[in-house]
Amino acid sequence: MAVACAVAEPDTNTMLAEALARDVDRAFEDVVIAFRQPVVTFVARMLRDDARAEDVTQEVFVRAHRALHGYPPERRAELRLRSWLLAIAHNLTRNAVRDAPPPSDSLEYDDGTSRVGLTDRQPGPEGEVLRAEAWQSVGDAVAQLSPALRAAFVMRYVDDLSYDEIAETLGQPVGTVKASAHRGLLAVRAQLEMNDD
């Protein structure tokens, strides 16, 4: 199955939010279909664990459904669904990150030396190997960020969310979000430059 970057258009949001305002249950499958991919992708990037990512994503929608039933229709009609769902996802992944041991494919060894530079060169077309290493090294660098910086960096520089949306998702002032995303960017860049040396 082709994996497309499913980012809901604003009019989709309006349509879904209004449908939710009318009847949560009748609109809910459309919400799941529209946002399951962006949510699971965000969660997987935060957790770097695909199996747990799906479980957490399931929990995101279960909690969303429960919350929607508690909101009055006018509040449902106003929802910005992507940031609202990502906020639930962010809260759940924060708990999951806190509860889980650090990822086993962590960038650094105990003595602080980088694993990336030591990776065995696999045989195969040179370009492909370099390309794979390039994104993996971004992934490794992202994994090194604290959860707060990681969320801000991924949303801003990977998912291209606006600062407003990120602020809404993380429940933080725009200024804080800008600072976190920027610090995340600097840290990832520094990590990659260190690898290149």
**One character per residue 2-41, x = contact with other proteins (rule: CB under 8 A):** -x-x-------------------xx-xxx-xx--xx--xx
**Which is nearest to 87 in space by CA: 55, 32, 43?**
43
> Least CB distance from residue 83 to other proteins, whole Å?
19
**One character per residue 69-108, x = contact with other proteins (rule: CB under 8 A):** ----------------------------------------
Identify which range of 84-92, 97-105, 156-164, 165-173 contacts other proteins by CB under 8 A. 156-164
> Least CB distance from residue 25 to other proteins, whole Å?
5
- Asked if 143 contacts 105 with a C-beta cutoff of 8 angstroms, the reply is yes
Identify which range of 1-9, 14-22, 94-102, 143-151 contacts other proteins by CB under 8 A. 1-9
> Least CB distance from residue 45 to other proteins, whole Å?
5
> With binding defined as CB under 8 A, does residue 157 bind other proteins?
yes
Q: Which residues form the interface with other proteins (CB under 8 A)?
A: 1, 3, 5, 25-26, 28-30, 32-33, 36-37, 40-41, 44-45, 50, 53-54, 57-58, 61-62, 65-66, 131-132, 134-139, 142, 157-159, 185, 188-189, 192-193
